[in-house]
Amino acid sequence: MNRAARPVPVLHINDCAFTTTVLMREAGRRALPWEYLPLAVTEPSWRGATRVVRRALRGAGWEARLAGAARRADLLHIHFATVVRHAGWVPRPHVLHLHGTDARSYQYDRRLGPLVRRAIERADAVLYSTPDLAPHVDWRPDATLLPVPIDTTALPVWAPAERPRVVFASRWHEVKGLAVQLAVAELLSRRLGNDVELVGVDWGPGAGLARAAGVRLVPKADHATFQRLLATAHVVVGQPTGMLAASELEALGIGVPVVAPLHGPWYRASGAAIPPVLGGVDLGAAYALPSQDPTVPGARALERGEERVLAEGIATAVVGALGEPGGVSAGIDAAAWLAREHGSASAVDALLPLYDRVMAEREA
């Protein structure tokens, strides 16, 4: 079959951090023969014995939908390693897309580790979404970084609030460097007082501590509402763990200056482009960074003094950017960088030849 004559029909299973949503939107613009099947969801209201029965019925219905969708596809693109246990029975080649916790944490878990490692080993191709995952998949030498895709056409226009505002982009959780985020909030609150508003999302086990540190918390809302919140910021504080997630990338695409330390070795190992954030690799090299998961091999929890000096570096960069955020934004031109390195068009352009290669190798 001449694969160059037509795109490969692909079924995307699951969505993580809106990656599938963004890819499907771009595929729709190109009229590509891709479909998306979300996972079945267990309703929180289900209780007792009926919960087991309802889960079984919903699971059976989902597998029936999977079987029907798979008949229209030549290839599966499975998002998140543990999803393979639900979809691995389908007789189709598949691309496994690692999104973070699966490679960084579950791979080393006593119960889930064998499943995750087997999924990585048996996939026809492996993708990973962020540079920090590079050392966790280096045993699969052909694993490739697919930078988190962002639909730049859907981003709101930067419209900073009247009162200077600093927005914390991450949820208040240990995997997002919670202790350092709280220390940054405390420092900014003490230095800037009521002159600057600190804002974050009421999300994560540390949200109450963030509120106590001086952060005004807004309810967790839909994706578009969160993007509009980012667009009101004069400066965005990114997670201090050495890489950027989708939220920080979206802020860059909007044009907001983002302050975040970056771990240079991850970017070099993965071949990822260095994001134009304030602090960046220099800040990441100057201070020890918190582990995203203290349970993984080689992880080391930061000492209190290390957390404090990193927070000082971040807070200093934030205060500097608040002086002239528009000039800072224009100087780094992050929106153009994001469109080039993380635009949804670039992501689909990278996937099409990968799909062709997987099918050609299966048919050889």
For residue 92 the two structure tokens come to 């189709």
Higher-pLDDT residue of 325 and 164 is 164
pLDDT at 83: 97
Give the residue from 2, 162, 93 showing the smallest Cα distance to 354. Answer: 93
pLDDT at 19: 97
Q: In the 8-state DSSP scheme, what is residue 260?
A: E
pLDDT at 3: 53
- The sign of the CA dihedral 120, 121, 127, 131 is positive
Percent of the chain with pLDDT over 70: 92
Average pLDDT, the chain: 92
Residue listed under structure tokens 């960084």: 104
Rounded mean pLDDT, 191-212: 97
pLDDT at 126: 98
Question: For residues 232, 319, 251 and 14, what is the CA-based torsion angle, rounded to 10 degrees?
Answer: -110
Of the pLDDT bands very low, low, confident and very high (cuts 50, 70, 90), residue 110 is very high
Give the residue from 120, 142, 126, 169 showing the smallest Cα distance to 275. Answer: 169
Which residues are 216's β-sheet partners?
199
pLDDT at 60: 81
Rounded mean pLDDT, 342-359: 97
Residues of the chain with CATH 3.40.50.2000: 3-149+343-363, 153-342
> 43-47, 168-172, 180-184, 333-337: lowest mean pLDDT where?
43-47
Percent of the chain with pLDDT over 90: 81
CATH classification (class only), 3-149+343-363: alpha beta
pLDDT at 138: 95
In sequence order, which residues have a C-beta less than 8 Å from that of residue 118 and are 6 or more positions away? 84
Rounded mean pLDDT, 34-48: 78
pLDDT at 44: 61
Of the pLDDT bands very low, low, confident and very high (cuts 50, 70, 90), residue 326 is confident
- The sign of the CA dihedral 180, 186, 187, 188 is positive
Between the CA of residue 300 and those of 103, 156, 173, 202, 309, what are the distances in Å?
Answer: 18, 38, 17, 28, 17
pLDDT, one tens digit per residue, over 50-91 is 666 566 667 688 999 999 999 999 999 999 999 999 999 999
Rounded Cα–Cα distance for residues 304 and 85 (Å): 41
pLDDT, one tens digit per residue, over 274-301 is 999 999 999 999 988 888 776 666 667 7
Helix axes 334-342, 325-332, angle to 10 degrees: 40
Rounded Cα–Cα distance for residues 65 and 61 (Å): 6
Residue listed under structure tokens 């504080």: 237
For residue 25 the two structure tokens come to 């939107």
Taking domain 153-342, whether its CATH number is 3.40.50.2000 is answered by yes
- The sign of the CA dihedral 161, 193, 220, 295 is positive
Q: Say what the pTM is.
A: 0.90
Of the pLDDT bands very low, low, confident and very high (cuts 50, 70, 90), residue 333 is confident
Of the pLDDT bands very low, low, confident and very high (cuts 50, 70, 90), residue 1 is very low
Give the residue from 310, 311, 249, 309 showing the smallest Cα distance to 275. Answer: 249
Rounded Cα–Cα distance for residues 273 and 173 (Å): 26
Q: Report the chain's C-alpha Rg in angstroms.
A: 21
**Whether the predicted pLDDT of 43 surpasses 70:** no
Of the pLDDT bands very low, low, confident and very high (cuts 50, 70, 90), residue 40 is confident
**Whether the predicted pLDDT of 152 surpasses 50:** yes
In contact, 242 and 284? CB cutoff 8 Å: yes
**Whether the predicted pLDDT of 26 surpasses 60:** yes
Collapsing DSSP states into helix, strand and coil, what is residue 105?
Answer: coil
Of the pLDDT bands very low, low, confident and very high (cuts 50, 70, 90), residue 206 is very high
